Structure 1
Amino acid sequence: MISRFPCRAPLWRALGLACLLVGSPALHALEFEEAVALAERQSPGLAAQASAVAAARHQAEGAHRLPAPRLAVGVENLPISGMDRWSLSRDFMTMQRLALMQDIPNQGLRDARRQGAQARAERDQAGHELQRRQLRLELLLAWQAVQRGEQRIALLAELLAENQRLIDSLPALVSGGTATAAELLMARQERLMLSDRDDEARRDIAKARAALRRWLGERSAEPLAALAPLPERDPNALRERWLRHVELAAFPAMLRMAQAELREVDAEDRGDWSWELAYNRRGRQWGDMVSFQLSFALPWDRKNRLQPQLSGKQRELERVEQERQEMQRRLLQSLDEQLAEQATLTRQIERQSQQILPLARQRAELSLSSYQAGRSSLPELLSARAAVLEARLREIDLMAAQDALRAQLETLILE
């Protein structure tokens, strides 16, 4: 062919190269980590949480600083009766006053406020990390659902092609008297059943793609790269790692917040102080004056003034600790349930792949041989083929459940 049309060979090669170059971007499979980075950049919820973290950190930077100074302007000893009334200069006691004042909370109070602001920033950071992990988990579960759905569709396509070959061969057998019209109807019914299962698999993929579209936008329609298999953890190691669950990460910061609030109330008993520098201007015949004074808060009546607040903050600290313990117990219960589910899934997958599926395939092969030899009917063959289909789909479902369980056990742990 090339010798007869030598002038066209370079053209065909050029067209082939062009098609390859144009088609190559479509062949690129989206990697999971790339998708996670894209989802994090595009997530409004994560952006809002990041803004909250930044705001809390900025507030923590100024929490220990002194309050803003105050400037006072006024008139002292202004006469309102007599010959010098409303005069600013004739009475020697009348002064125009300009004062600068600074309140200075005690160091313990300032330290407690700084520690509380830092703890709030750490709590918001833990919330941001929780949201990131939940995003990653939802993305991973949707990714797994797409790929398991594609496996189901590939399996059903194989069985539909096999069913079509059977349907194509049956009319000749019916004409030859070796098969009945009822058997042809059974084969068509099997095709409808397989088509229903195929529609269900495509529906599940569409739902998973919709979940991906929430995070990835238009890129959710791209082919997805295969996921690396998640490790199977030892139960004892999982229990140790489970204490670093992302839902527990905020509690240390919340405890420090409650402790800081308790110290802040306790520090009020130490008393604050302030200073004031004033310039007093009098009439020309009188000299100007400068005054300086210190003021001290007198902590008194602690029992009635501070003790109720201290008791309330102590109860708040106890509440946070009790909620932490309750969350830890709930998570440990959830872990035990998931470990039991994981052990069951492992046994079921092993039994399905090593015993049930091989037996179903042997039965289908024997039924096909018997049917071809005229020793069995088409219903027996279709029943055996349906058993193989159910076994293979069951294996995919079990592996999907195992993948989803491992995804939860891996994604929500802070290393």
Structure 2
Amino acid sequence: MKTTVRPLALAVLVSFWWAAAQAESQPPGASVDSLLAIAKEQNPEYAGFRYEAEAATERVVPAGALPDPKLRSEFRDITRMGEQNATLAPTRVGSTRYLLMQDVPWFGKRDLRREIAELEAQGAQGRALGSWTEISTKVKTLYAQLYYLSRNERLTREILDLMVRLEKVAQVRYAGGLAAQQDVVRAQVEQTGMRNELVALASERRQLQARLNALLGRPAIAPLAEPEALRKLPAPAKLEYAALEDRVRGRNPLLYAANSQVQAAEKSRELTYKNRYPDFTLGVSPIQYQNAVKEWEVMVELNIPLQQSSRRAQEREAEAMLTSAKLKRDATANQVLADLAENLSGIDAARQTETLVNDSLLPQAQLTYQAALAGYETGKVDFATLLDAQRQIRVAKQNQIKAQADGQVRLAEIERLLGEGL
């Protein structure tokens, strides 16, 4: 029994190891989720925004803290009325005064500074999230473009094979005196044009892969797998403007950061008005005579806010900054909602185009091609008509692939505006 179980267990372990090794050796890029996972971990721009947000969060505690206290020592009568040489020994001078001072802002200023720092930290977090949504949108868009190029390249190769077969049909008819040599030449010219298109598609694919690798934090020439499938578009009911408007207002990273900026500007204005009131410095001072402390002093110091013109200017500045923040927030909201409406219209158009191609244009083009092929083989139509029919199929399939890619690009833009996936 033992001799049967051990080889079986060993075989299972080897199979798991082999599967893991194969998975690690395969380049990423088959799915958009695999690319997003790498970008989130390795993109340097997003990492920089995350550290900025972390740094802004760490500013909250210092912003609300009291300033460090100050200690002053004063050595008085260091010559003892000329009775001794100058000295700084506390037990030999006339007296030594120690002053411990603490600056204390006016009531509420510390809380306002802390709240401003918290709101600025929230704004930094919103900018970090906005950075990620921008990066993820670029990754999704490039993935859709690579999918389009991959499928277009595959379609071009299929049409190229078809043209090779059509050339053979034309050669047979030309050999039998049923067609002109021009038909064979035109078929060869079409093949040459398609091979040039394949070269251009391969070059464009390499350029897109380099841009995608840059977003992933990988070398520009690092290998990427062929895109396998696009994400399924959400149901039309989930893409209603009224249903998405509130989500955009509440979760869009740009609006989140703009709202935080408005609130921070409001707190800054309130803090500026509190500068009309003085700040304090409190102190306690023991005085040492030889080896004993024989006197104690307590002091209170405050600044006198006499520079009213300067403070009025600062207050006007705070009011202007608040107005500016509100207007920028409104402008951002208008732009975001306009982009939402635009992309919802675009994704609807892409969906309708794909449906129209699948249900009408492509079947009609295929029927036209079959009829033209049969007519050419029997001499009822010329080779130009057959080529036009073949081009109609190609254009229909290209439109189908383009509509699918456009829908993915629009979906990525909508998710960027939402700040989350659909």
1:239 equivalent in alignment to 2:214: no
Q: Where do residues 63-212 of structure 1 align in structure 2 (5 Å cutoff)?
A: 63-76=63-76, 94-212=94-212
Matched, 1:316 2:321: yes
Q: Which residue of 2 aligns with 1:349?
A: 354
1:404 to 384, 392, 409: 409
3-state SS, counterpart of residue 228 of structure 1: coil
Partner residue of 2:297 out of 288, 292, 317: 292
Q: 2:63 aligns to what SS in structure 1?
A: coil
Cα displacement string for residues 185-226 of structure 1 (whole angstroms, at most 9, x for unaligned residues): 011011122223333332332222112211332665134442
**Structure 1 residues 180, 24: closer, same or farther in 2, change over 3 A?**
farther
Q: Is residue 75–residue 96 contact of structure 2 (8 Å, CA) maintained in 1?
A: yes
Superposition deviation, residue 130 in structure 1: 0.6
User: Any idea what the Cα deviations from partners look like across 1:138-166, whole Å, max 9, x if unmatched?
Assistant: 11111111112111122112111111122
Query: Which residue of 2 is the match for residue 47 of structure 1?
Result: 47
Distance 1:367 1:74, change over 3 A: same
Among candidates 219, 230, 241, match of residue 227 of structure 1: 230
Question: Using the alignment, how far apart are the partners of 2:125 and 2:137 within structure 1?
Answer: 18
- Percent sequence identity is 19
Bigger shift: 387-396 or 238-247?
A: 238-247
The higher radius of gyration belongs to 1
Q: Structure 1 34/289 Cα, relative in aligned 2: closer, same or farther at 3 Å?
A: farther
The SS at the match of 2:34 is: helix
Which deviations, in whole Å up to 9, do the C-alpha atoms of 1:340-390 show, x marking residues without a partner? 333433433333332222222221111111111111111111111112111
Q: Aligned to 1:98, what secondary structure does the other structure show?
A: strand
Distance of 1:28 and 1:50 partners within structure 2: 27
Give the TM-score of the pair, scaled to structure 1: 0.85
1:257 aligns with 2:264: yes
3-state SS of 2:319 partner:
helix
Q: Which one-letter code corresponds to 2:282 in the other structure?
A: W
Kindly provide the amino acid, as one letter, of the partner of residue 224 in structure 2.
Answer: A
In the alignment, is the contact (CA less than 8 A) between 1:271 and 1:296 conserved in 2?
no
Report the AA paired with residue 279 of structure 1: P
Instruction: Give how far 1:27 is off.
Output: 6.3
Distance 1:140 1:350, change over 3 A: same
TM-score (norm 2): 0.84
Change (3 A) 1:85 1:312: farther
* Closer/same/farther in 2, CA of residues 184 and 235 from structure 1, 3 Å limit: same
* 1:266 and 2:273 correspond: yes
SS at match of 1:182: helix
CA RMSD of aligned residues (A): 2.9
Out of 265, 283, 288, the position equivalent to 1:281 is 288
Q: Distance in 1 between matches of 2:20 and 2:127?
A: 44
Q: Is the 8 A contact 1:98 1:279 kept in 2?
A: yes
Q: Return the alpha-carbon distance in structure 2 between the equivalents of residues 230 and 255 of structure 1.
A: 36
The one-letter amino acid of 2:73's match is V
CA separation in 2, counterparts of 1:348 and 1:34?
29
Residue number in structure 2 paired with 1:389? 394
Unmatched 5+ residue regions in structure 1? 1-16
Match of 1:336 among 341, 354, 368: 341
Residues 270 and 193 (structure 1), Cα distance of their counterparts in 2 relative to 1, 3 Å cut: same
1:13 is aligned to none
Gaps of 5+ in 2: 1-14
What residue identity is the alignment partner of 1:289?
A: K
Rounded to whole Å, the distance in 2 between the matches of 1:171 and 1:299 is 103
Is the CA contact (8 Å cut-off) linking 1:173 and 1:179 kept in structure 2?
A: yes
8 Å Cα contact 1:71/1:100 also seen in 2: yes
How far apart are 1:124 and its partner, in Å?
Answer: 0.9
Q: Which moved more, 1:275-284 or 1:104-113?
A: 275-284
**1:239 Cα deviation (Å)?**
2.7
Contact 2:344/2:414, CA 8 A, preserved across alignment:
no
Q: Cα distance 1:241–1:69, how it changes in 2: closer, same or farther (>3 A)?
A: same
Distance 1:310 1:377, change over 3 A: same
Name the CA distance, whole Å, in 1 between partners of 2:400 and 2:200. 17
Give distance in 2, aligned partners of 1:361 and 1:382: 12
The letter of the residue matching 1:195 is: R
Q: How many residues align?
A: 393
Superposed CA offset, 1:323-350 (max 9, x none): 1011111222233333333343343333
Deviation of the 1:303 alpha carbon: 4.3
DSSP 3-state at the match of 2:411: helix
SS of 2:64's partner is coil
Q: 1:274 to 1:152 in 2, by over 3 A?
A: same
